[in-house]
Structure 1
C-alpha cells in the first residue's frame, strides 16, 4: 500500500511508479521478480520488475507461482495484450485481478518457457545496447558541432586538429555569395505530376545534405532557379525561431540537372567555390556558430520568418586552409555515417523483435506458435494469468521518493528517485493502472514503483521476462480498460485472461533471445566513441 509520500530519498530498496524508479524504501520488498500492472487510468499496462523492489499503490504485482517463469509470463502477456479488455469504469478505467486472473492462456512446458523468455530477454538487451550506441554518437556529434567552429567573437575554435594554428576568417554572406529564390509560378495542381524535379521543404529541413532519393516531381512551365554543387538551401519560415534557416547543401554534381527548390527556401551560392569544402559548408550551417545568428534574426509571433536582408548580415566563418576544412567535414561526415548505420541496425532489430513477438507466442485459438525452437514439440498449456503471476500493489507516492536511498523508484517512464523502503526482490512487470492503463515494463529486482502502477511477479517456476515479452506481443491488456474519462485496469479482470504457455525451458530460451535483441538495440542507441579529434 505504498503511496508517493512513503517514498524516501534513501533506503534499501528501489520503488517504481508505472514508468520509472521514483525513490527508495526500507519497507519489505517483493522477494522475487514480478510483473507490475497499473490498476487505474492506464489500467492493465505491465512491466517486468526485479526482485527486492517495491511499487506504488497505483499498481499491483504479479508473482509467478512455482514452477512457472515470470519472464515468460510477462512476454506472453505483452504478446497477447488482452488485459486491456478487462478494464472497467467510465471515468477512470481500472482493472482487477479478480477479473483478469480468470483469463485462460496456453502455456508451454517450463523448459520451453525458459527458452522463449531467454530469447526475448536477449533481443531486448540488443535493442538497449544499440539505443545507447546511437544516443552516444548523436551526443558526440552535437558536442563537435558546438566546439569545432568559431563564433563571431573568436578566431579560434575550442577543438582543433593540432597541425593547424592560423586564425580563422569571417565574411558576411551578402559579400561572399549570391542569393536566389525558390519555385515561382507553380500552382497546387502542378505538384506530384510532370517530369521536373524539385527539393521540397522537408528534404531541406531534415537533411544536412539534400537527398536525391527524396526529390519530388512537379510540372514546370516557367523559368526557375536550379541548384548547383555546393549550393546552400535555407528555409525561411518556421513555427519556432530555433528552426528558422535550417540548411541543406548540394553535395552531388551531375546526377541530376535542372533541379529546383521549394518556394519557402532561399538558395545561397558562394562566389569562390574553390575556397570551401562541401562537407565543411554542410556542417557549418548546421553548427551553433550559424544557428545562433539565424535564431537571433528570426521575426514573428505565431510563425517566424527570416529574409534575405537579415541572412546577408550573417557571418560565414572558415579556416583559410582548405585541408582543415576537409578534416572537419570528414570527421562529422563519418559520424553521420555511423549514426545512419546504427539507426538502420536499430530499426532492423526492432523489426525482427516485432516479427518474433508476433509469431513466437500462441493466441487463444492455437496451442502451437508459428516459430519455435526445434527441440520443443509439446503443446502449450492454457493458464489464467493469475495462476502464473501474483499481483502486488505499491503505496508509494511521489512525495515519498527521495534523492538518496538504497533502491531506485520508477514511475511509468523512468527512474524518479530513491527509497529505503523494501523493494521487490525479483524482476517484475510493472503495469500502469490509470490513464495509459495496461502499459507494461520489465523492471529489475531491488527496485520500487509508484502507486500509479502495479507489479506482476512470476510464480515459480514461470519466467518473468518471458511473460513480459508474451504480454507485449499479444498486447491484449488494453482491452481490459474501464472508464471513459480516465481509463483504468484491474488485476481482478485481466488476471482472468487465459494465455498459452510453453515449458519452462522453452520460456527461458524465448526470453533470452528477446533480451539479447533489446541489448543490441540499446547498444546502437548509446554507442560510446572515445576517438580523439
Structure 2
C-alpha cells in the first residue's frame, strides 16, 4: 500500500512478543451466583467485550466485592479478551479500555486482560483496531484449543508478536480508521431511527388483548427441538450452513437436519436467546428450533412475535459467565394465537418493513455493510507492517 510505505518511510517498526511487553491478568475469582445479585461494584461482562472494539462503560453489570477483597481492576490502556468460546473463530475477541473509568471496574470471570508495560508506547485507540485486524484474529485463534469449547492458552498467547510503530504513525492510522468508523456510525444512527419506526408499528400490530385473543404456550402449539452437536472438524464438505449461536452460519456440512421455515433460538454464548428465521435447509447445532402447528400459527407470524420480545428472551439467559437459554425454560413461553387471516395480514405488513430495515441487498443495511468492508480493507492494509523477524 503506497500510503503506508510513505507513512513508514525511514521509520522502523519493531515487532515484540506480548510476553515481553505486557502482563496478563485474570477476571473475577471466588465468586458465586449470589454475588451477582444486588452487587455493589461494576464489572465488564463477556458480551461487552465480544460486541465492542472499545469497552462501553454504559453496558456494565454489578457484582458484590468486599472492601479489602483482592481483585484486578481494569485501567486505561488495558485490552480485554474473551477467554473461551464454543466457536473457534470467535475466541479471544478484544475490547480496548480507551477512557479512564470513573470508579473501580472489574472484569468478568470468563475473560482476561492485557496490560502493557509502562515503557511501551501503544495508544489504546490504536489497540482497538490492531487486535481486531485479520492478522491478530488469526494469531489469537491459533492459541486456542478444545473440542466442544475452545480456551486460550495464556502461554501461547504471550508468544504472539505485535507491531509497535512510532506514536505519530499510530495516531495517523487511528485518524484514518476512526474516520471510516464514524461514517458507518452515522449510517447506523439513521438505520436505528428507521428501526424505531418499524418497532413502533410492530408493537402496535402485535399487541393483543388477552381477553380477546387466546394465548398458548409454545409446547401447546408446536414442538421445540434441540440441535445436534457437531464441531467444524467433524463437519464434512458440503453446501448446508451450520447454524449455532450467532446471527449467521459458521461453516458448511454435507447434510441438513432442518428444512422449510425454521425459527432458531441461540442456546449459549454472547448471542444466547437470539431469535432468527431461516427458510433454507440448515444443520442446526448448539441452538434449538421452534416448529409451530401451521393449522394454528403461521411460522413467520410466530417469528415476529418472538422477535418483538427479543430483549425479554435475551434476559432468560442464565449464568454469570457464558449465558445459556434452556429448552425447558422456553417451552412454557406463551404467545397470542389470533385467526390465521389476521396473522397473514400482519405478516404482509411487517415483511415490507423488515425488507426496508434488515435487507442485505438494498437500502441502508447494504450501505452499512459496504462501509464495514471498506473499513476492514483499510484496517488490514494499514496494520500490515513489514516483519523481518
* Bin of the TM-score, shorter chain as denominator length: 0.5 to 0.7
CA contact (8 A) 1:480 1:494 kept: no
Paired residue for 2:89? 242
User: 3-state SS of the aligned residue for 2:159?
Assistant: coil
- The structure with more radius of gyration: 1
Residue 354 of structure 1: how far off its partner (Å): 4.8
SS in 1 for 2:74: coil
Residue 162 of structure 1 pairs with residue 162 of structure 2: no
For CA contacts below 8 A with separation 6 or more, give which structure has more relative contact order. Answer: 1
Partner of 1:285: 131
In 2, the alpha carbon distance for the partners of 1:308 and 1:197 equals 25
1:305 corresponding residue in structure 2: 151
Aligned residue runs from structure 1 range 270-349, under 5 A: 270-272=116-118, 275-319=121-165, 321-349=166-194
The answer (yes or no) to whether the contact 1:173–1:316 under 8 Å persists in 2 is: yes
* 1:432-443 aligned within 5 A: 435-436=260-261
Conserved 8 A contact 1:183-1:263: yes
- Aligned residue pairs total 247
Q: Decide whether aligned partners of structure 1 residues 296 and 195 sit closer, same or farther in structure 2, where only a CA change above 3 A counts.
A: same
Structure 1: how far apart are the matches of 2:81 and 2:117?
17
Pick one of 105, 113, 122 that aligns with 1:259. Answer: 105
Per-residue CA deviation, residues 207-263 of structure 1 (Å, 9 max, x unaligned), is 11111101111111221111111111122211122122111111112x423211012
Distance in 1, Cα, partners of 2:179 & 2:198 = 28
Calculate the TM-score normalised by the size of structure 1: 0.40
Does the CA-based 8 Å contact 1:343-1:524 persist in structure 2?
no
Following TM superposition, by how much is the alpha carbon of 1:347 offset from its aligned partner in structure 2, in angstroms? 2.3
TM-score (norm 2): 0.54
Shift of 1:359: 7.1
1:356 and 1:485 map into 2 onto residues whose CA distance is 19
Q: Which runs of 5+ in 2 are unaligned?
A: 206-258, 263-278, 280-291, 301-338, 346-351, 383-389
Q: Secondary structure at the match of 2:99?
A: coil
Cα RMSD over matched residues? Answer: 4.2
Provide the residue aligned with 1:122 in structure 2: none
Check conservation: 2:46, 2:82, Cα contact below 8 A.
yes
Say whether the 8 Å CA contact 2:79–2:96 is kept in structure 1: yes
**Mapped pair 1:217 → 2:67:** no
Q: Does residue 350 of the first structure (1) align with residue 350 of the second (2)?
A: no
**Contact 2:357 / 2:365 at 8 angstroms: preserved in 1?**
no
1:163 Cα deviation after fit: 3.4
Shift of 1:338: 2.7
SS of 2:58's equivalent? helix
Indicate yes or no: 2:204 matched with 1:204. no
Shift in Å at residue 158 of structure 1?
8.0
Are residues 281 and 297 of structure 1, via their aligned partners in 2, closer, same or farther at CA, if it must alter by over 3 Å?
same
User: Unpaired segments of 5 or more residues in structure 1?
Assistant: 1-156, 361-433, 438-451, 453-478, 488-492, 500-510
For 1:351 and 1:199, the matched residues in 2 are separated by: 27
Change (3 A) 1:220 1:435: same
Give the SS at the match of 1:327: helix
> Structure 1 pair 496/241, CA: closer, same or farther in 2 (3 Å)?
closer
Classify the secondary structure of the residue corresponding to 1:263: coil
Change in Cα spacing, 1:264 to 1:346, as seen in structure 2 (3 Å) is same
1:324–1:354 distance in 2 versus 1, CA, 3 Å: same
1:268 partnered with 2:114: yes
User: Taking structure 1 as reference, are residues 351 and 273 closer, same or farther at Cα in structure 2, changes over 3 Å only?
Assistant: farther
